[in-house]
Structure 1
Amino acid sequence: MTPEYDVKELAREMEEWSPKEVMRKALELYDNIAISFSGAEDVVLIEIASKLKKNIQVFTLDTGRLHPETYRFIEKVRDHYNLQIETLSPNAEELERLVREKGLFSFYKNGHSECCGIRKVAPLRRKLATVDAWITGQRKDQSPSTRNKVALVEEDAAFGAPDRPLIKFNPLANWTSQDVWNYIRMFDVPYNELHTKGFISIGCEPCTRPVLPNQHEREGRWWWEESTIKECGLHAGNLKS
């Protein structure tokens, strides 16, 4: 049963909470809750959760276009924490149609929305239909144009439904990139080896590149598109006007 509480009131109550306190509350409120895992922030969440509860539910999106280093990273995390990581893949028929009709690199001409929709958003939607809440590593400073109002807890209107609300926790919303990496170094948390090669925000191989000094971390994603909108649809609510 979904607990009854005011999400906005809880978000206000949490404003000064640490990520560990937010995580503890999320795990207390929901049994059927999952951590979305892909990057450095998400492993911090797994590290925190592993100290609070056994058998945490973790999933990741295998788009079929990830860097080899990212696949090795997934296995490193699986082994380090001795946990199962549910790997979600795109629908084969939809993907085959896209590649047959538009090729492997249509996103350079037509934008990344369609490809991300098939490889990321659709598998995520299928997964989120099976849980009551999910936990993400979003931070406000990751993208000032789309994430600066990310709350520590919010109702996910993009993937939930009026008759089946979905709650989204963002325990690291108030942290900076430096906070994340300080934690990673302090607790010897595994990280993607691409971070040592100039990559900060890491997605699919064709759509991610290293950033230069003083560039924002999201500038390495979909660099051929509008610089102020760097979202793939996983956090569709961030794009509300």
Structure 2
Amino acid sequence: MEGLKAAQNISDSLEGKSIVEKLKYLAERYEGKVIFTTSFGYEDQVITDLIFKNEIPVRVITLDTGRMFEETYKVYRTTLEKYGKPIHAYFPPTDKVEKLLREKGTFSFYESVENRKECCYIRKVIPLKRALEGNQVWITGIRAAQSANRSNLAEFEWDEGNHIVKYNPLLDWSLDEVKQYVKENHVPYNILHDKGFVSIGCEPCTRAIKPGEDFRAGRWWWEQNTGKECGLHESK
């Protein structure tokens, strides 16, 4: 209850403020304990631009699973060049990756939902927990329209699993609004977006979506309706 109250108090204090004002408030109130995780997709690039352009002291990090698209690494590099600010990479534990591949092979995630979630846990969730350790606010690029699982989220919420306040600044933005911001502000973006990729993760687990398909259809497309989440945003 205490965490939920903290998230609600922040929300109440910042009602009516702009995203930049909210970011500045959080950075000042929780000095050195605010973190933003980027995967270099459209939404994350908008937030990166807002943080770096306005010189807001928020630590920006990315989770490098070891299986990212070449295009993702390219926008990573371009973002570093444009802003001249650090983006810290966190990697999965070597011993667990080696054990997984040794025991189950290189593509075990195609074999079952359990195997896929195991791979996601090792490559994403473990390094995320290490990155979040000691922080009090976690900023994300989640939008409500991305999936049914995210439609009931709040702008400020308490993540019980990570014991941290989560701030979702673009929660109510549409994809068109995100694209417009990127265009108007000349923000570097992943060129895979131009090829039908709307949600970009690991290369073996991501494809472009077809006209009329759900936003998350390009992630783990071989699975049925299993929630289409990797575990990063499960607050249990």
Determine the structure 2 residue equivalent to 1:35: 36
- Cα distance, 1:76–1:65 mapped onto 2, change above 3 Å: same
What RMSD, in angstroms, separates the aligned Cα atoms of the two structures? 1.7
Structure with more of its chain in helix, by fraction: 2
- Cα distance, 1:22–1:128 mapped onto 2, change above 3 Å: same
Cα deviation, 1:110-132, whole Å, max 9, x if unaligned, reads 22200000000000011111322
Determine the structure 1 residue equivalent to 2:190: 192
Indicate conservation of the 8 Å contact 2:52/2:85, yes or no. no
Indicate conservation of the 8 Å contact 1:138/1:170, yes or no. yes
Shift of 1:79: 1.1
Shift of 1:82: 0.6
The gaps in structure 1 that reach 5 residues or longer are 161-165
In the alignment, structure 1 residue 142 sits paired with structure 2 residue 146? yes
Task: Quote the Cα distance in structure 2 between the aligned partners of 1:18 and 1:143.
Answer: 25
Determine the structure 1 residue equivalent to 2:230: 232
Determine the structure 2 residue equivalent to 1:22: 22
- Cα distance, 1:209–1:56 mapped onto 2, change above 3 Å: same
Task: Quote the Cα distance in structure 1 between the aligned partners of 2:207 and 2:196.
Answer: 8
Cα deviation, 1:156-182, whole Å, max 9, x if unaligned, reads 11112xxxxx21111111111111111
Q: Which stretch of structure 1 is more off in the superposition, 61-70 or 219-228?
A: 219-228
Task: Quote the Cα distance in structure 2 between the aligned partners of 1:26 and 1:150.
Answer: 19
Indicate conservation of the 8 Å contact 1:135/1:168, yes or no. yes
Please give the residue correspondences for 1:1-241 in structure 2 after superposition, counting only pairs within 5 Å.
6-11=6-11, 14=14, 17-31=17-31, 32-38=33-39, 39-111=41-113, 112-144=116-148, 146-160=149-163, 166-227=164-225, 229-237=227-235
Indicate conservation of the 8 Å contact 2:46/2:178, yes or no. yes
Normalised TM-score (structure 1): 0.88
Shift of 1:228: 5.3
Is the partner of 1:218 in helix, strand or coil?
helix
- What is the percentage of aligned positions where both structures have the same residue? 43
Is the partner of 2:150 in helix, strand or coil?
coil
What one-letter code is carried by the residue in structure 2 that aligns with 1:132? Answer: Q
Runs of 4+ in structure 1 off by over 6 angstroms are none
Q: How many residues align?
A: 228
Shift of 1:54: 4.7
Task: Quote the Cα distance in structure 2 between the aligned partners of 1:217 and 1:168.
Answer: 22
